[in-house]
């Protein structure tokens, strides 16, 4: 058996042309070769397969039994090799692909409904799988298990990932509408007088708010830590605890949970939001469609969106 590494791929194309035309001259014309070059190729093929492959008869050049047996497998092999060079097309309407979206509880409440509506309108047979994101989960998991992650700057992202900036939101302080602090402008003393609910992504105990307070020489009391956003809003509605968060999701529940929004009594940096994906999917047509869809939906929802190409 001849090793594949020693086989000239062009010889297989020559054999396929000879099988089609059963004529050296016509096969040479199709391959844009001279007739002597095609004859030399036939000689190499006979040596390679230890068979004459074609013999002259009164009806012209006829394939041997060995050549006939090679015809269908050879054509199938060449078709498969050709398919490697063709760019894969993606049709949302025909796709049955499962896409994994990594996002926080906040991200799910903020964007998932609109993403799903747009997604299933265009790709009714495809699937979305939502995976809860934690602060370090993207750097702890294999890139093969991640399709697309929707994050803020608080999530650690591998430095080799591609990232698309979506826009910003400003953090606010939420409380129930019977809270003693809801009447007047919130000051730092009132802000620190009540315990706070913290929505945790599974990272360390320190949050941006705490880091800023530390620089001011102050600290707050944490009353509850939870990864679940809506339950945090419900707790705030039934207690005197405060919640610091961006306003998009609370705005959806502000009547249901009788909430009031106040400005945090010190300057906090904006929350930045991003799409993130591994380089293995950067040129994948299906993934390019998904991230364009998600970017469009999120930029419609986010309070300070940015425009830009995917």
Per mean pLDDT, which range of 6-15, 234-243, 278-287 is the poorest? 6-15
Would you place residue 218 in the very low, low, confident or very high pLDDT band (cuts 50, 70, 90)? very high
Q: What is d(CA 24, CA 110) in angstroms, rounded to the nearest whole number?
A: 68
CB-based burial of residue 72 (10 Å sphere; 0-12 exposed, 13-18 middle, 19+ buried)?
A: exposed
Q: In the chain, which ranges are continuous DSSP H helix?
A: 9-21, 24-30, 35-49, 65-83, 105-107, 113-122, 137-140, 188-193, 208-215, 229-238, 248-253, 285-301
Q: Residues 6-18: what's their mean pLDDT?
A: 84
- CB-based contacts of 309: which residues, under 8 Å, 6+ apart? none
pLDDT at 8: 79
Separation CA 235–CA 239 (nearest Å):
6
- Contact between 172 and 247 (Cβ < 8 Å): yes
Measured between its terminal Cα atoms, the distance across the chain in Å is: 50
Residue 141: closest CA among 151, 122, 156: 156
Q: Is-contact 139 161, C-beta < 8 A?
A: no
Task: Grade residue 275 by pLDDT with cuts at 50, 70 and 90.
Answer: very high
Structural domain boundaries in the chain: 4-83, 98-169+271-305, 172-262
DSSP 266-287: S--PPEEEEEEE-GGGTT-HHH
- How far is 122 from 40, CA to CA, in rounded Å? 55
Question: What is the DSSP secondary structure assignment for residue 308, as one 8-state letter?
Answer: -
Classify domain 4-83 by CATH architecture: Orthogonal Bundle (1.10)
C-alpha distances (whole Å) from 195 to each of 249, 274, 288 are 21, 30, 44
> If you average pLDDT over residues 202-213, what whole number do you get?
74
Same CATH topology for 4-83 and 98-169+271-305? no
Q: Which of 6-10, 276-280, 283-287 has the lowest mean pLDDT?
A: 6-10
Q: What is the reported pLDDT for 59?
A: 78
CA distance 136 to 142: 12
Pairing of strands 127-132, 148-152: unpaired
State what percent of residues in the chain have pLDDT above 70. 91
CATH number, domain 172-262, options 3.40.190.10, 3.20.20.140, 3.40.50.300, 3.40.430.10: 3.40.190.10
pLDDT in the model for residue 122: 96
pLDDT tens profile 87-124: 567 899 999 999 999 998 889 999 999 999 999 999 99
Given the candidates 3.90.230.10, 3.40.190.10, 3.80.10.10, 3.30.465.10, the CATH classification of the domain at 98-169+271-305 is 3.40.190.10
Cα 29 to Cα 15, 22, 283, 285, distances in angstroms: 13, 13, 38, 37
Angle between helix 113-122 and 285-301 (nearest 10): 140
Instruction: Give the per-residue pLDDT at 83.
Output: 63
Minimum mean pLDDT range among 37-46, 47-56, 131-140, 240-249:
131-140
Assess whether pLDDT exceeds 70 at residue 1: no
Q: What is the pLDDT of residue 89?
A: 78
More confident residue, 248 or 82: 248
Tell me the pLDDT band of 52, cut-offs 50, 70 and 90: very high
- Taking residues 55-70, report their average pLDDT: 88
Bigger pLDDT: 144 vs 287 = 287
Give the pLDDT of residue 85: 60
Distance of CA 200 to the CA centre of its chain: 24
Predicted confidence at residue 105, as pLDDT, reads 87
* Rounded CA separation 223/23 (Å): 87
What is the pLDDT at residue 80?
76
State pLDDT tens for residues 132-173: 888 888 888 776 778 999 998 888 898 899 999 999 999 999
Phi/psi for 95 (5° steps) reads -70, 140
Strands 259-262 and 172-176: antiparallel
DSSP 88: P
How far apart are the C-alpha atoms of 305 and 291, rounded to whole Å?
16
The predicted model scores a pTM of 0.68
For residue 203, pLDDT over 60 is answered with no
Residues 103 and 152: beta-carbon distance below 8 Å = no
In the chain, pLDDT over 90 holds for what percent of residues? 49
Return the structure tokens found at 223. 């009353």
């Amino acid at each position: 058996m001849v090793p594949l590494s020693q086989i000239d791929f062009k010889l297989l194309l020559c054999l396929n042309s000879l099988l089609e035309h059963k004529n050296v001259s016509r096969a040479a014309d199709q391959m844009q070769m001279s007739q002597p070059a095609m004859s030399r190729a036939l000689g190499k093929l006979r040596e390679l397969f230890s068979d004459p492959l074609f013999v002259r008869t009164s009806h012209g050049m006829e394939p041997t039994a060995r050549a006939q047996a090679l015809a269908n497998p050879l054509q199938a092999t060449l078709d498969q090799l050709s398919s490697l060079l063709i760019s894969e097309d993606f049709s949302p309407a025909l796709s049955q692909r499962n896409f994994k979206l990594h996002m926080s509880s906040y991200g799910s409440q903020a964007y998932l409904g609109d993403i799903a509506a747009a997604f299933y309108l265009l790709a009714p047979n495809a699937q979305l799988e939502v995976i809860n994101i934690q602060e370090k989960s993207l750097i702890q998991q294999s890139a093969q298990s991640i399709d697309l992650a929707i994050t803020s700057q608080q999530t650690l992202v591998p430095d080799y990932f591609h990232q698309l900036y979506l826009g910003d939101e400003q953090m606010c302080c939420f409380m129930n509408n019977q809270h003693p602090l809801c009447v007047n402008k919130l000051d730092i003393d009132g802000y620190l007088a009540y315990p706070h609910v913290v929505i945790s992504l599974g990272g360390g105990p320190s949050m941006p708010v705490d880091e800023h307070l530390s620089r001011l020489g102050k600290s707050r009391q944490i009353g509850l830590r939870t990864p679940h956003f809506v339950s945090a809003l419900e707790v705030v509605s039934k207690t005197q605890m405060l919640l610091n968060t961006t306003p998009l999701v609370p705005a959806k529940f502000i009547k249901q949970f009788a909430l009031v929004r106040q400005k945090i009594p010190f300057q906090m940096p904006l929350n930045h939001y991003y799409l993130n994906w591994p380089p293995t999917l950067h040129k994948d047509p299906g993934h390019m469609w998904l991230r364009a869809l998600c970017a469009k939906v999120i930029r419609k929802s986010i309070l300070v969106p940015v425009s830009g190409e995917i």
